Amino acid sequence: MKVPLRGMLIDGQLVGASDGGVLDAENPTTEKVIGRLPDATADDVGRAVAAARRVSGEWSGTPWTKRAALLRQFADVLDANRDELAELDARDAGLPIASMRADVTSAANEIRYFAGIAGETKGETIPSGPDQVTYTEFVPYPVVARIVPFNHPIKFISGKAAAALAAGAPVIAKPGEQTSLSALRLAELVKDLFPAGVFNIITGSGAKAGAALSAHPDVPRVAFTGSVPTGSRIMEAGSAAIKHVSLELGGKNPMVVFPDADAEKAAVASVAAMNFARSMGQSCGSTSRVFVHRDIKDRFVAALVKRLSELKVGDPMQDDTDMGPVAFRGHYEKVVRYVQSGIDEGATLAYGGKRPEGLDTGYFIQPTAFTGVTMDMTIAQEEIFGPVVSVLDWDDYDELLDQVNHPELGLTGNIWTRDISQALRMARHIDSGYISINGTGKRPTGAPFGGFRQSGIGKESSVDELLSYGRQKSVTITL
């Protein structure tokens, strides 16, 4: 399958890069180029910013009910084109097509959620005494940059634009350079939906287009999802202009299994919480460190290995495939290095760690589990962002309390126990932004999501995110 070269969406028009630059799009299953994408320049970014600025007054002044109606149409477009968009992501990113259909549906639901709460962009009155009236009003930012990573291409480029659009802020969205084909098809599909300049989609390298967008002086609000190093650079780029920057970054997330837990159920849940079968572990919320009490460790590991052996690794275009390849060559090589470091540093490879038999082409890695992992090992300290889970033993509660909050990342956590008091104490102790108890990390619509410490700033997927795309103005009238 060859994908035609499509244009970016800037000011209501589909355009190439101003200098004609393009990047190749590679299918990680076949290692072959399947398309190209515009490599936006700083001038292209500037045109998108100017368009968003120009239309900001019109969009912020549009009644919220009309904005909500357009967002619902946006969601309908996703639903109507679900299969095509899912196929693009399966081919471009190697993600299983069944999961990608679910991603399109999830994005449509997120857009409808924000359409439903768009009216929360309201003010309030403040008691001011008999001679004054004080009120507040919500003032949307004139431009929002929404920069998203490679791991959920269509879900992120569409769903993560919804809150800002609902709030009345024009958006310039940029997908990960490795997985941009579905974003460019989306640009074609929504070209005439919003007023020109309200929703812009640019593609290209992070070092060029992403850096120009995050540093542009006329972009006061930047929301980024991705790695800690890139998030740090975006904060630095925005510091001179005192930008409002929110970050949803990586995690080295702990799952704690107490001795009273059902070891087999917890093991199955750990595979789901690692997102092996959804995104090959390429998820910031994956619980990649599992602290299992020594009394039930053997049963847990046996059940873990059994569940991993049941996962089908193969062609992401097949409906029964659980795991495809990781997204691109550089990432594959990084994950392989982490697996080797685990072996070299003395961890026990309980399952996987190799290329699956019969898959000689493509960036495939078996689902991988290490046991005997200690906190001084690289695989216990650094985010791998791939299909690798580490099992750590514990029997000293105080030592466990110290270990779960290292390293300095705090996005999610997962706790398995039958003792609710014990679960709540641990939930309060884990210094992370989202905690699941006896679950897999699946979040209900509207639950605020975001990290503590180096895992980020701000909340997403909630009314908190909606309100973050505007400022509060106070007005006092003296009678």
User: Catalytic one among 26, 87, 110, 248?
Assistant: 248
Judgement on whether residues 174 and 283 belong to the same structural domain of the protein: no
Judgement on whether residues 39 and 125 belong to the same structural domain of the protein: yes
pLDDT in tens, 324-377: 999 999 999 999 999 999 999 999 999 999 999 999 999 999 999 999 999 999
Confidence of residue 278 (pLDDT cuts 50, 70, 90): confident
Judgement on whether residues 211 and 132 belong to the same structural domain of the protein: yes
Grouping H, G, I as helix, E, B as strand and the rest as coil, residue 62 is: coil
Judgement on whether residues 239 and 268 belong to the same structural domain of the protein: no
Domain that holds residue 284: 254-444
Asked if 399 is an active-site residue, the reply is: no
- Residue 241, pLDDT > 90, answer yes
Asked if 31 is an active-site residue, the reply is: no
Rounded CA separation 340/465 (Å): 39
Q: Is residue 1 part of a domain?
A: no
User: Catalytic one among 87, 110, 177, 284?
Assistant: 284
Judgement on whether residues 422 and 469 belong to the same structural domain of the protein: no
Confidence of residue 1 (pLDDT cuts 50, 70, 90): confident
Q: For the chain, how many structural domains are there in total?
A: 2
Mean pLDDT of 294-298: 98
- Concatenating the DSSP letter of every residue in 346-379 gives T-EEEE--SPPTT--SSS----EEEES--TTSHH
Judgement on whether residues 128 and 245 belong to the same structural domain of the protein: yes
- How many angstroms separate the Cα of 69 from the Cα of each of 135, 194, 331? 28, 11, 40
- Residue 468, pLDDT > 90, answer yes
**Distance of alpha carbon 180 from its chain centroid, rounded?**
15
Residue 108: what pLDDT? 99
Place of tokens 């549906």: 105
- How many angstroms separate the Cα of 459 from the Cα of each of 136, 163, 289, 412, 432? 22, 11, 23, 13, 12
pLDDT in tens, 52-67: 999 999 999 999 999 9
Residue 443: what pLDDT? 92
- Concatenating the DSSP letter of every residue in 169-202 gives --EEEE--TTS-HHHHHHHHHHTTTSPTTSEEE-
Give the β-pairing of 132-140 and 125-126: antiparallel
Confidence of residue 85 (pLDDT cuts 50, 70, 90): very high
Judgement on whether residues 316 and 415 belong to the same structural domain of the protein: yes
Residue 194: what pLDDT? 99
- How many angstroms separate the Cα of 70 from the Cα of each of 34, 56, 77, 112, 202? 33, 16, 11, 10, 21
Q: Which two tokens stand for residue 239?
A: 């510091």
Provide the whole-model pTM.
0.96
Q: Is residue 449 part of a domain?
A: no
CATH of the domain at 318: 3.40.309.10
Counting beta carbons within 10 angstroms of the beta carbon of residue 30, is it exposed (0 to 12), middle (13 to 18) or buried (19 or more)? Answer: middle
Q: Is residue 100 part of a domain?
A: yes
